[in-house]
């Protein structure tokens, strides 16, 4: 059983990582092309409405997806109840989005935002019809099918966005890309997944789903509001172009950190749920996941910070140069996001969504204080505040992990410190290695090569187990 679960975990991580890496590459290439065509203001306009869509999606799922994955004796009525709830929630939330759209446009004094928000909101209806199918594939650990669906839909939608951007659609190119991605994935999820709503709405099923999911809903709403609180403030206090610069920096740091976070959330939750009552195995699997995660994400984020200037100039030209310092600072906040995700996943695995909600409230109070302190110092101050709140959140998130399975803050730092020090050393080596080089393209290429060689050399000496596990996952995909 243990070996079987390990194989499933490795395959799940490999295929989900393939999914995210492929989408990362596709999104990166498409994003570079679009950023060369579109202006910072175009990205800033879309960022202004991002928080409203993010909150809407939290209401749409309401934690029912994770509740379905975790339930050991899942019935057809459970699935159907979730399905009908998702559709009803999607219709209601989209109606609210439609009504508040003019108020959002008035808040920012940008009339076009009402149209953009209503168009983006169509994704709510689309997504409502595929949540259960997506969940069924995750529960079966069929991440291969999900990878194929996600990659295919992103390629086609990205190609459509590039064409319409060249034809002068501006910010609408980004909206069309999002809607096309959702619609294409919906069609493929229904083709691939055999599940259909054959059951009925069941009061007891809803009681279980809501009892578990409602706290995750509250946590999700709070988290998504605060994840977008800085863009709201920047969009209101500064210009759309300034928000576009900040958003571009944030998006580049999200490529590796958030992609890996999504991989971990999708794979670790169903896998750890299978051993939720075996604390010894859970503790061992949990620590291995933490070490492996750090081994992948830490060097990427430190390397990105070290090479931010040549990276931006080479890829999206000097019209985006203002985002370079933002990118460098945000990297040191984003590098901890996957670690946060694993800690929070453990609370869900243990069924402690109440603790999950409590932690979210505490952390968001801290973010609120940071906003008042940092905004007077401009966008740089906001970025620095993000790093501070990320580190404070790490201490808070690990508190209950220590209580539940005895893997608290200090044990986690002991596990992660070799890779962290190795990554920081790599960053210093990159910094000094590229100083004499003036050509930006050459600086970027040399910096990447120096970083990879120096990190892997030190890894072979100091973090052999994580290196071995990474190689094992690649070979067994």
Do 279 and 312 contact (CB within 8 A), yes or no?
Answer: no
Residue 366 buriedness (CB in 10 A; 0-12 / 13-18 / 19+): middle
pLDDT of 420 reads 92
Q: Which residues of the chain have pLDDT under 50?
A: 1-3, 477
pLDDT of 263 reads 64
pLDDT of 2 reads 46
pLDDT of 11 reads 62
pLDDT of 254 reads 80
Question: Distance of alpha carbon 199 from its chain centroid, rounded?
Answer: 33
pLDDT of 275 reads 65
pLDDT of 272 reads 63
Vertex 45, ends 40 and 51: CA angle to 5°?
A: 125
Q: Which of 196, 305, 199, 173 is nearest to 249 (CA)?
A: 305
pTM over 0.85: no
Q: Tell me which DSSP letter residue 336 carries.
A: T
CA dihedral (20, 25, 29, 35) in degrees, to 10, reads 50
- Span 146-155, pLDDT tens digits: 888 888 898 9
Residues 6 or more apart whose Cβ sits within 8 Å of residue 52: 97, 100, 104, 117
pLDDT of 283 reads 78
Q: Could you count the other beta carbons within 10 Å of the beta carbon of residue 380?
A: 12
Q: Where are the alpha helices (DSSP H) in 109-228?
A: 112-120, 122-128, 131-139, 143-166, 172-192, 203-227
pLDDT of 1 reads 43
Biggest CA-to-CA distance, the chain = 69
Q: Tell me the domain boundaries of the chain.
A: 38-227, 257-477
């Amino acid at each position: 059983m243990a070996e079987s679960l390990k194989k499933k975990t490795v395959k799940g991580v490999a295929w989900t990582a393939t999914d995210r890496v492929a989408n990362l590459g596709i999104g990166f290439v498409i994003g570079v092309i679009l950023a060369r065509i579109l202006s910072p203001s175009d990205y800033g306009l879309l960022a202004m409405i991002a928080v409203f869509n993010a909150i809407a999606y939290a209401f749409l799922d309401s934690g029912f997806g994770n509740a379905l994955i975790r339930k050991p004796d899942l019935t057809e009525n459970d699935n159907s109840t979730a399905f009908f709830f998702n559709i009803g929630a999607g219709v209601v939330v989209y109606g609210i989005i439609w009504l508040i759209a003019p108020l959002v446009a008035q808040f920012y004094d940008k009339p076009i935002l009402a149209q953009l928000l209503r168009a983006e909101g169509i994704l709510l209806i689309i997504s409502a019809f595929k949540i259960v199918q997506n969940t069924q594939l995750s529960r079966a650990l069929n991440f291969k099918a999900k990878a194929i669906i996600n990659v295919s839909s992103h390629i086609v939608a990205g190609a459509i966005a590039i064409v319409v951007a060249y034809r002068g659609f501006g910010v609408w190119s980004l909206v069309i890309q999002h809607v096309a991605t959702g619609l294409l994935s919906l069609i493929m999820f229904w083709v691939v997944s055999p599940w259909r709503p054959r059951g009925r709405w069941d009061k007891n099923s809803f009681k279980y789903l809501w009892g578990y999911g409602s706290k995750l809903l509250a946590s999700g709403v709070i988290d998504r509001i605060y994840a977008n609180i800085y863009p709201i403030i920047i969009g209101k206090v500064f210009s759309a172009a300034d928000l576009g610069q900040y958003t571009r920096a944030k998006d580049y740091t999200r490529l590796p950190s958030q992609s890996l976070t999504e991989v971990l959330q999708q794979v670790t939750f169903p896998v750890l749920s299978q051993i939720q009552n075996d604390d010894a195995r859970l503790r061992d699997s949990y620590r291995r996941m933490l070490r492996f995660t750090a081994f992948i994400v830490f060097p990427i984020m430190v390397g990105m910070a070290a090479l931010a200037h040549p990276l931006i100039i080479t890829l999206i030209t000097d019209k985006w140069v203002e985002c370079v310092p933002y990118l460098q600072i945000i990297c040191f906040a984003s590098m901890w996001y996957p670690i946060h995700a694993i800690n929070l996943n453990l609370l869900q695995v243990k069924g402690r969504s109440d603790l999950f909600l409590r932690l979210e409230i505490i952390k968001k109070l801290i973010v609120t204080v940071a906003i008042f302190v940092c905004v007077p110092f401009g966008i740089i101050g906001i970025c620095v505040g993000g790093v501070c709140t990320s580190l404070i959140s790490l201490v808070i998130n690990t508190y209950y992990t220590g209580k539940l399975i005895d893997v608290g803050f200090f044990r986690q730092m002991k596990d992660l410190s070799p890779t962290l020090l190795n990554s920081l050393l790599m960053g210093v080596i990159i910094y000094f290695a590229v100083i004499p080089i003036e050509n930006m393209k050459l600086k970027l290429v040399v910096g990447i090569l120096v970083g990879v060689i120096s990190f892997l050399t030190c890894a072979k000496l100091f973090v052999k187990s994580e290196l071995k596990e990474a190689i094992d996952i690649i070979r067994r995909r």
